[in-house]
Amino acid sequence: MDFLRPASWEEALAAKAAHPTAVPIAGGTDVMVEINFDHRRPEYLLDLNRIGDLYEWEVGEDSVRLGASVPYTRIMENLRAELPGLALASHTVASPQIRNRGGVGGNLGTASPAGDAHPALLASGAEVEVESAERGTRLIPIDEFYKGVKRNALQPDELIRAVHVKKADGPQQFSKVGTRNAMVIAVCAFGLALHPETRTVRTGIGSAAPTPVRAKAAEEFLNAALEEGGFWDNGKIITPSVAKQFADLCSAACNPIDDVRGTASYRRHAVGVMARRTLTWTWESYRGARRTTEGAA
């Protein structure tokens, strides 16, 4: 095994181009587990810890450009207003020790369906900034990023540099099922974001299909129901039948398996429950915000 220690992003891209089999390592919270257990013996480890700009973020007009290695701890502390869904999801990642090391770039690189960041990224809307020495930068929409169980849209010579996450324009929520609060790989997870500016709702489902997915049929149904009932304007409570139909459609968007963490039917059920709850929480928050801004009781 060789340990490559590029001091700059350009050097890292050159190293990845020269050694396409090199495994990038940043927080190490996935890669080191595989090495410790002898599940993986990469020819090259490509250490990204020395590349400072991977640890930085910029808050722009519409989105946040989040460096691939920004630890979850920093996201929780600094980006709760701009990226509430991702901040909530970050807080459910493992433990303080892991959150101090791991970041969204690693979640995307590993592309496990159980990665906690994925539902939040899908719900808020995001683009993954990847780069290769030969072809330069490209932005991959999050909906086209996940290709299969632990497979993503990266080419062998590409590295993840950042993720551009849309700034919240409304309430966002994240919910995760596990046996305890900390140190849990999601049995299943659900992210939901209201987008009042476009009058749309977006979702993200984790750990209940081969890849993280959106519940598109559920989103379309809810968008139409909210529009039809004038909910965005009148701020009424969402009808229980609408919430139930939305939850059922979210369950139907799952394609889970039975495994040690839970059965397929439990996952389908739990995703429906989380969909209904996160919709209620976010909608109540939207109604509350409307009341505040309009100054009415």
Q: Which pairing describes strands 126-132 and 159-166: parallel, antiparallel, or unpaired?
A: antiparallel
Q: Which pairing describes strands 200-206 and 188-195: parallel, antiparallel, or unpaired?
A: antiparallel
Q: How many Cα atoms sit within 13 Å of 292 on the Cβ side?
A: 6
Residue 172 neighbours by CB under 8 Å, 6+ apart: 83, 84, 85, 88, 120, 123, 124, 191, 192, 193, 194, 282
Closest CB 294 distance from other proteins, rounded Å: 35
Closest CB 164 distance from other proteins, rounded Å: 26
Closest CB 41 distance from other proteins, rounded Å: 7
Burial class (CB in 10 A: 0-12, 13-18, 19+), 77: exposed
> Which residues contact other proteins (rule: CB under 8 A)?
1-3, 5, 25, 27-29, 31-33, 35-37, 41-42, 45, 47, 49, 94-98, 100-101, 181-183
Closest CB 130 distance from other proteins, rounded Å: 22
- Looking at the Cβ atoms of 34 and 169, the one nearer to other proteins is 34
The pair of three-digit structure tokens given for residue 194, joined into one six-digit string: 């209201």
C-beta of residue 253 within 8 angstroms of C-beta of residue 275:
no
C-beta of residue 213 within 8 angstroms of C-beta of residue 253:
yes
Closest CB 173 distance from other proteins, rounded Å: 20
Residue 90 neighbours by CB under 8 Å, 6+ apart: 72, 73, 75, 76, 99, 116, 117
Closest CB 245 distance from other proteins, rounded Å: 37
- Looking at the Cβ atoms of 31 and 75, the one nearer to other proteins is 31
- Looking at the Cβ atoms of 74 and 164, the one nearer to other proteins is 74
C-beta of residue 83 within 8 angstroms of C-beta of residue 64:
yes
- Looking at the Cβ atoms of 101 and 202, the one nearer to other proteins is 101
Name residue, tokens 């929480």.
Answer: 281
- Looking at the Cβ atoms of 1 and 297, the one nearer to other proteins is 1
- Looking at the Cβ atoms of 203 and 207, the one nearer to other proteins is 207
- Looking at the Cβ atoms of 96 and 148, the one nearer to other proteins is 96
- Looking at the Cβ atoms of 109 and 171, the one nearer to other proteins is 109
- Residue 201: strand pairing partners: 194
Closest CB 267 distance from other proteins, rounded Å: 22
Closest CB 43 distance from other proteins, rounded Å: 10
Q: CA 170, CA 161: separation in Å to the nearest integer?
A: 27
